[in-house]
Structure 1
Amino acid sequence: MRLLLVEDDLMVASGIKLGLTHAGYAVDWVSSAERALEVTLREAFDVAIIDIGLPGMDGLALTQRLRKDGHAMPVLILTARDALQDRVQGLDTGADDYMIKPFELPELLARLRALLRRSQAATSSVLSFGPLELDTATRLACIRPGGQPIELGPREWTVMEYLLINAPKPANKDKLLQALTGWDKEITPNAVEVYISRLRGKLEPHGIALRSIRGFGYRLEMAADGSTDPHITAA
């Protein structure tokens, strides 16, 4: 998943970005609302994390502008202001959640997972496809019944999660590439093929196929009966 972090404090931004990157997210950081508006014109993000106390346009005005411009991604507001009116104002401008500084990283990660579930209309942290289950809270993948674990590297996890969220529709290759990397990292489209190939090797023994859709991307299918209309459920 790709996150946009809008925070003008370098130390705070570095700490948040490091923690989120270690948790498997691709994180892009900007230090102003004006820069955030520029990048959201041309790039897609799954969640925006916005500090209120930005120079120039503040975080509340940025959130309001994003909503006015038609951006539906979840927005998590960060602020040191803890008054009730501040929280109400943040939510009323279009934010989906509100966190008061200082905070602990595990709580931020839990709130992000909740926002992502809500945006994907899921009610649980567990995504499933056929016998495959991914728990986005514990970051464990397994095959049911029996709970046989599947070992996934950080980028393999990102690809698998994106495929599950999109199933039974195909996942767009360009968007998948964006989900894997931020501005400070470079992954070629051919590298995506490497992760797809690795996942095929882990899924095919369990009757799950990864089909390439020419000119678009990839789709999960049940290999046993050749079905092209499997479904994703929230356990």
Structure 2
Amino acid sequence: MRVLLIEDNAQVCESIRHHLEGEGFIVDVVHDGLVGVEMGQEPHYAVAILDLGLPGYSGLEILRQWRRARNPLPVIVLTARNSWKERVEGIDAGADDYLGKPFHLEELTSRLRALLRRAHTKTQQGALHVGGLTLDEPRRKVVLADGRSVALSAMEFKLLRCLLLNRNRVLSKEQLFSHLYHEDAQPDLPIIETHVMRLRKKIGEGWIQTVRGHGYRLSEPETGA
């Protein structure tokens, strides 16, 4: 999944980017609010991490512009730990969660995963799953209906997470590529077919359907499939 990080502290940005990419996310970094408010309108971001103290537009102004434009992008705001007023203003402006500085990167990752689950599955707790298929995110494994736990490669993990978060929705190869690779990667849409084929071998053929001419969709197989 692609994350938009808007933060003007270069050291904080690098720490977050390095950690989240190690957790299987693609992270685009922006240091300026004027650029960030435009990038947040792009449809390929799954979530934004937004610092409130930014040059150009403040984080609060960015949030207000997004929400006025009916942009539903899930947002975690970063605030000074002792600034209760900032936290309240951030939530009132449309933030979905907040995290006080300084913070542990592991907590940021946990909150980000929980926010993605809420935004895409409308549930507030538990792992990503559909039917008898469950993604064990911390260990990067998939648990099958028969209880077997199967290890996933980095790309298989990112692909399955993306499909689970968008269950029953058709995703094009272009959309999947944007969630698996950095923007500067050479476009190679046939590689998506290879990743899908390898993932199917691990989870079973019935889970990922090809919608000819449009892309792929993950849903629970029909009985007897």
Scaled by the length of structure 2, the TM-score of the pair is: 0.89
Which piece of structure 1 moves more, 181-190 or 69-78? 181-190
Give the letter aligned to residue 144 of structure 2. Answer: I
2: distance between equivalents of 1:80 and 1:185? Answer: 35
Residue number in structure 2 paired with 1:143:
144
Give the letter aligned to residue 212 of structure 1. Answer: T
Q: Which deviations, in whole Å up to 9, do the C-alpha atoms of 1:100-132 show, x marking residues without a partner?
A: 111101100111111111111123332333432
Give the letter aligned to residue 213 of structure 1. Answer: V
Q: Percent identity between the aligned chains?
A: 37
Write out the 4+ residue segments of structure 1 that deviate beyond 6 Å after TM superposition: none
Residue number in structure 1 paired with 2:210:
212
* RMSD of aligned alpha carbons: 2.1
Which piece of structure 1 moves more, 207-216 or 195-204? 207-216
Residue number in structure 2 paired with 1:229:
none
2: distance between equivalents of 1:26 and 1:71? Answer: 20
2:74 matches 1:91: no
1: distance between equivalents of 2:199 and 2:141? Answer: 15
Residue number in structure 2 paired with 1:182:
182
2: distance between equivalents of 1:104 and 1:184? Answer: 29
User: Is contact 2:172–2:215 with CA below 8 Å preserved after alignment?
Assistant: yes
2: distance between equivalents of 1:169 and 1:183? Answer: 23
Residue number in structure 2 paired with 1:233:
none
Give the letter aligned to residue 168 of structure 2. Answer: P
CA 1:185 to 1:17, structure 2 compared with 1: closer, same or farther past 3 Å?
farther
The total of aligned residue pairs comes to 223
* Shift, 1:186, TM fit: 4.2
Give the letter aligned to residue 39 of structure 2. Answer: V
2: distance between equivalents of 1:52 and 1:123? Answer: 25
Q: Which deviations, in whole Å up to 9, do the C-alpha atoms of 1:166-187 show, x marking residues without a partner?
A: 3333333322222112324445
Q: Which runs of 5+ in 2 are unaligned?
A: none
* Shift, 1:57, TM fit: 1.2
User: Is contact 1:110–1:137 with CA below 8 Å preserved after alignment?
Assistant: no
